[in-house]
Amino acid sequence: MTAADVHGAVVAAVEHLDLDDEDQGAVALALRLASAIDGEESGRTLSELAGKLTNVLAELGATPAARKSIVPRSGPAERSPSQQAKDELKARRANRQGAG
């Protein structure tokens, strides 16, 4: 990854996020914006695209500010019952896909 490889940085960041299926549209948009930024030469357009990418990454929880708003200073909170149920469903789905 080079210094101007925004797409590569976004790919690496997204790989570490705990995303749901419904997040895939935002992920696709982030990747598209990152690719456009890598190929952009106009400072004005670059600035506009970077702002849009930052907003999408914040929605995905992939910016420092977004993470601070999610994780309290005392550390990660216990997963809620609904989050735990989602985790169980994801695990079952992964097991099914691995077995089939």
Interval 7-14 mean pLDDT: 94
Model-level pTM greater than 0.75?
no
Query: What DSSP string describes 15-78?
Result: HTS---GGGHHHHHHHHHHHHHHHH---HHHHHHHHHHHHHHHHHHT-SHHHHHHHS-TT-PPP
What pLDDT score does 75 carry? 58
What pLDDT score does 97 carry? 81
